[in-house]
Structure 1
Amino acid sequence: MGKWAAFPYLGDFGFGDDEVRSNWARLHAGDAEPLPADSAVLHAWTLYHRGEFQQAVQAGLAAGGGGITVANKAACIYATYLEKKERTRLELFQEVAQRAEAQAAREPNNAGAWHHRGYALGRYSQAISVAKALAQGLGSKVKESFEKAIRLNPRHADAHIALGAFHAEVIDKVGPLIGGMTYGAKKETGLTLFRQALALNPRSAIGLIEYANGLVMLEGEGRLAEATALYEQAAAIEPLDATQRLDVALAQAELEE
């Protein structure tokens, strides 16, 4: 593991373990992860929330058990937002997918494991092109992973967002007929999932962003004004931690273009 790029707002979130513990419900409104009893796992989460993603991966892997979930989430966020080399990004997503699949095999009721499997495969699919990924059979694995995460933890707002994005992107790339018949992608299902996610976690910047993108993909440019308003809401959110800071920065950058 070479040296990773630094979180650009390092120092903005000076969490300690006790502060993460006391703010756990707010910090984990998106993934509804249970508060860990293992102090080593909790510390790995503290590193994650501060934006020390490489250290969070290392600490999570060293802790094992629930630390694998932290490591996978930190690696996914880093690869999505901060890694510039495409080859490295793809390798990171593949590593997470493999770790998460092994974790889900050991702990089939672990919603986080299924979510990270789907997230990593989904981001990998976007990188190589959704159409190519569907042809390789990755689409069914992504869909299955998010559906299992939601069944296991119905309050997992991030899994709702990701599954909604799956429906939107498949329909956008192959159309509603093939998307529905071949991959089970449906417009109304996608829109409902976005709304459910925001009902569970109204302050989710990434939820607002993905809902905005999904509206345009599923319903066309006639929804651009509404999509822009959703981006504006996301850009105005006061971020709680490093990951949400990256989400807000994404919304702000899109509005400036």
Structure 2
Amino acid sequence: MAPWTASSLTGPQDRMDVGQLQRLWSHLHRGDAEPWPEAPELQNAWLAFHNGDFQRATETGLGLGDAGMNVANKATSIYANYLEPREQHRHDLLLAAAARAEDFQRRQPENPGAWFWQAYPLARHIQSISVAKALTQGLGSRVKTALEAAIERCPQHADAHLALGTFHAEVINKVGAVVGRMTYGANKAEGLAMYRQALALNPDAITTLTEYANGLIMLEGLEALSEANRLLDRVATIEPLDEAERLYAASARAVLEG
């Protein structure tokens, strides 16, 4: 595997050890409901992820087989979405993670991460291709089905609720309420309900607050601006704890400042 682009957001003073990771685990994984890994090798893979060593996290996770599949796919997806500068390689990484997750579903169909880490990279892939292409490939329906499957298997999966809310919001924003409902099953009320559930499950997450704020604007327009700004004001008070949170916070700031 060729070297991946490194991130500079996590400095030496920010890097955590296994003990710190265990203390912060419930906060860091409130979104994906991933259980604490008992195996030292898996702990090391997750530690690499949280310290921003995404390539090492992916390679270590894949080396552990099914036990490391969720960390490998999460590391690949976060890296591709935020750090990979080459557009085609970015798509290749996202589609590879989604394909691994889909294959993982056949072996562990009750694992919510197997479904979520199919949906997340596919959704990120869709964001940078045309609506027509996404329709032709049936990608929107695959994302929605996978997210619903993740929630069915783990109702506490806040990130799946959040992503499903964003699915409804983005579809309606791109193609309109009527076409979105008929083609993708997108629905404003369901989208808002997903966002509210994500906020209830993971209320102090940068991702939850930012995605909810953006979704409100897409679904309700300017009349939601006050509530959206209130959510974004809360984001400014939250200190990121790992590389993924730092990347998301930096991305959110760039959008707001742009």
Category of TM-score, reference length = shorter chain: over 0.9
Aligned length: 257
Aligned residue in 2 for 1:94:
95
Aligned residue in 2 for 1:218:
219
Aligned residue in 2 for 1:23:
24
Aligned residue in 1 for 2:183:
182
**Cα distance in 2, alignment partners of residues 121 and 252 from structure 1:** 24
Q: How does 1:28-47 map to 2 (within 5 A)?
A: 28-47=29-48
Tell me by how many angstroms 1:211 deviates. 0.9
Q: 1:129 to 1:234 in 2, by over 3 A?
A: farther
Tell me by how many angstroms 1:154 deviates. 0.7
Runs of 4+ that moved beyond 4 A: none
**Normalised by the size of structure 2, how large is the TM-score?**
0.95
Aligned residue in 2 for 1:9:
9
Structure 2: segments with no counterpart, 5+ residues: none
**Cα distance in 2, alignment partners of residues 128 and 249 from structure 1:** 23
Q: Deviations over 1:93-112 (max 9, x none)?
A: 11001100011111000100
Q: Is the 8 A contact 2:10 2:242 kept in 1?
A: no
Q: Which segment drifts farther, 85-94 or 218-227? A: 218-227
Q: Is the 8 A contact 1:41 1:60 kept in 2?
A: yes
Q: Is the 8 A contact 2:177 2:186 kept in 1?
A: yes
**Cα distance in 2, alignment partners of residues 30 and 124 from structure 1:** 21
**Cα distance in 1, alignment partners of residues 256 and 58 from structure 2:** 32
Tell me by how many angstroms 1:230 deviates. 2.2
Structure 1: segments with no counterpart, 5+ residues: none
Residue identity opposite 2:67 in structure 1:
G
**Cα distance in 2, alignment partners of residues 224 and 131 from structure 1:** 30
Q: Is the 8 A contact 2:216 2:224 kept in 1?
A: yes
Specify the SS of the correspondent of 1:66: helix
**Cα distance in 2, alignment partners of residues 239 and 112 from structure 1:** 23
Tell me by how many angstroms 1:131 deviates. 4.4
**Cα distance in 2, alignment partners of residues 210 and 26 from structure 1:** 18
Aligned residue in 1 for 2:251:
250
Aligned residue in 1 for 2:196:
195
Specify the SS of the correspondent of 1:128: coil
**Cα distance in 1, alignment partners of residues 86 and 219 from structure 2:** 31
**Cα distance in 1, alignment partners of residues 183 and 134 from structure 2:** 14
Aligned residue in 1 for 2:169:
168
1:230 equivalent to 2:247? Answer no
Q: Deviations over 1:150-182 (max 9, x none)?
A: 110111111111110100111111111121122
Q: Is the 8 A contact 2:51 2:242 kept in 1?
A: yes
1:83 equivalent to 2:84? Answer yes
Aligned residue in 1 for 2:73:
72
Q: Is the 8 A contact 2:77 2:93 kept in 1?
A: yes
1:112 equivalent to 2:116? Answer no
Q: Is the 8 A contact 1:235 1:252 kept in 2?
A: no
CA RMSD of aligned residues (A): 1.4
Tell me by how many angstroms 1:15 deviates. 1.2
Q: Percent of aligned positions with the same letter in both sequences?
A: 51
